[in-house]
């Protein structure tokens, strides 16, 4: 048996919250496993201050969620992961180019927020893709272990890196958070940590603080 790969064209979907005037900030917000972009974007309606363009790309792989007919999307799985990562990096780069066809990059700050599985995606994109982000927010997530930190520490460190985690997060335990902090410190990557009293979710009060509203 011999494995083969064939590149094909896909139609990707994304949603936006449009500003009322010329944007001063562009936010790319990447959802977690089993979510859809249109619902994830609702978390950010409260921080749409009229001067932000907020863009929510949807992962390419959709599936039915267990036990019901609701649909979610996934950025990747362990199966053929190298090809899946390459596909979503190409997709996100294409989305980046479309957004900045109508927005002057020199006039805005660029923020990338990744939640849960979307955090690993955001880490890879801001390190390996074309986007030049001013800030990277990893919410209930971490820098994925497949990224070569010694090689990319400078690239990661020049973003304003923020970690966000709930004190009762069932996935990002205190031990995992301590391990991530030690890893970043060991590679001299500066970061800020925000915690909130909650679980594996987007906390609206914390989001307001991060947005500076």
Q: What is the pLDDT of residues 23-76, one digit of tens each?
A: 999 999 999 999 999 999 999 999 999 999 999 999 999 999 987 789 999 999
Per residue in 24-33, pLDDT (tens digit) is 999 999 999 9
Residues ≥6 apart with Cβ < 8 Å to 51: 19, 20, 21, 22, 23, 24, 25
CB 74 within 8 A of CB 117: yes
CATH homologous superfamily for 14-211? Alpha/Beta hydrolase fold, catalytic domain (3.40.50.1820)
Query: For the chain, which residues make up each domain, given as ranges?
Result: 14-211
Spatial separation of the C-alpha atoms in residues 206 and 163, rounded to whole Å: 12
Q: Return the pLDDT at 213.
A: 63
Category of 80 on φ-ψ map: left (φ > 0), alpha (ψ -120 to 50) or beta: left
Report pTM: 0.95
pLDDT tens-place string over residues 74-125: 999 999 999 999 999 999 999 999 999 999 999 999 999 999 999 999 999 9
């Amino acid at each position: 048996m011999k494995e083969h790969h064939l590149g094909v064209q896909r139609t990707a979907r994304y949603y936006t919250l449009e500003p009322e005037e010329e944007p001063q900030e562009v936010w790319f917000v990447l959802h977690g496993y089993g979510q859809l972009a249109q619902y994830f974007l609702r978390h950010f309606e409260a921080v749409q201050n009229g001067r932000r363009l907020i863009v929510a790309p949807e992962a390419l792989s959709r599936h039915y969620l267990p036990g019901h007919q609701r649909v979610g999307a996934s950025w990747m799985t362990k199966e053929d992961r190298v090809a899946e990562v390459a596909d979503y990096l190409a997709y996100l780069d294409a989305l980046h180019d479309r957004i900045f066809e109508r927005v002057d990059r020199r006039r805005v700050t660029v923020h990338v927020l990744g939640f849960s599985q979307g955090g690993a995606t955001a880490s890879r994109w801001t390190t390996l893709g074309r986007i030049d982000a001013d800030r990277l927010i990893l919410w209930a997530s971490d820098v994925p272990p497949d990224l070569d930190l010694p090689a990319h520490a400078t690239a990661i460190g020049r973003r304003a890196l923020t970690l966000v985690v709930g004190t009762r997060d069932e996935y990002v335990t205190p031990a995992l958070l301590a391990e991530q902090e030690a890893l970043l410190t060991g590679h001299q990557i500066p970061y800020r940590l925000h915690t909130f009293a909650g679980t594996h979710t987007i906390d609206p009060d914390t989001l307001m603080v991060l947005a500076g509203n």
